[in-house]
Amino acid sequence: MKKNIRILYSDIDGTLLNNHHHICPKTKEKILELDKKGIPFILVSARMPDGVMVIQKELGNNRPVICYSGGLILDENQKILYSRQMELSLAVKVASDLENNFPNICCNSYGNDLWVVKDDTNPWVIREEGITKGKSIKGTITEAFAKAGGVHKFLLMGRPDDSSDAEVFLKKNYPQLSILRSNEYYLEVMDGTVNKAAGVRYLCGYYGIPLEEAAAFGDGENDLGMLQAVGYGYAMGNSPEQVKKQAPYITLSNEKEGILKVISEID
């Protein structure tokens, strides 16, 4: 069955990376072996480009990447293939509503290579910088993204109950947006047309490979659409139960090299 797999898509955090935020050596070796055989391994992440490229550098391949959960796709030379942003006026309104109604939520704004925060000393921001190896800048949405005319993503960080309340509020008041959890603390907010499945569809078209011959790996709610869109969608063993229940297949956890288990069976 798995001999029909011609392209691989993978989430980064909690999926390709272990709990120490690194790629296991045997997994890396097999990915590069398959890459040389013409089976691309595509990183698909809610991260900004810099945060994805640092992982691609560790991996050692040279393929397109899907950033901002499908909001921005870069080719092998880091040139933009596809971009979909939330309009600036809408982004400003959303940010204002969040600040007024959810003061305990840390709101991060992203667009292309910019990561903008109100307070760069916030513990949530410092933690995320440590994980992604990226660097935020202190500023306002209006000034930072005026030239671009929009933002690719808001990342809302907070305690699970605060994040849940913000999720309910946003879904009620902004039905035109894509609002998904990447984990119990993080909420991703983007243009309503943006999702990982759309990014996967775009790149399958780019390579001329049917979705039925693609495999994907992920561990979060925001991965489900991607897992369900391809022929072989695998939830990691460390995924929440609701993700595993809705995924077509389940593999081992990120700590037990769940990706390696699957791709080792590809000829």
Q: How far is CA 255 from CA 76, 84, 142, in A?
A: 29, 33, 41
State the catalytic residue, choosing from 11, 13, 162, 219. 11
Radius of gyration, alpha carbons of the chain: 18
Q: Do residues 209 and 6 touch, judged by C-beta distance below 8 A?
A: yes
Residue 11 annotated in active site: yes
Q: Do residues 236 and 217 touch, judged by C-beta distance below 8 A?
A: yes
Tokens found for residue 54: 């640092």
Q: H helices of 119-237, where?
A: 123-132, 141-144, 160-173, 196-207, 224-229
DSSP helix, strand, coil percent of the chain (3-state; round to 5): 40, 25, 35
Distance CA 86, CA 176 (A): 10
Nearest to 196 by CA among 12, 14, 16, 25: 12
Residues classed as catalytic: 11
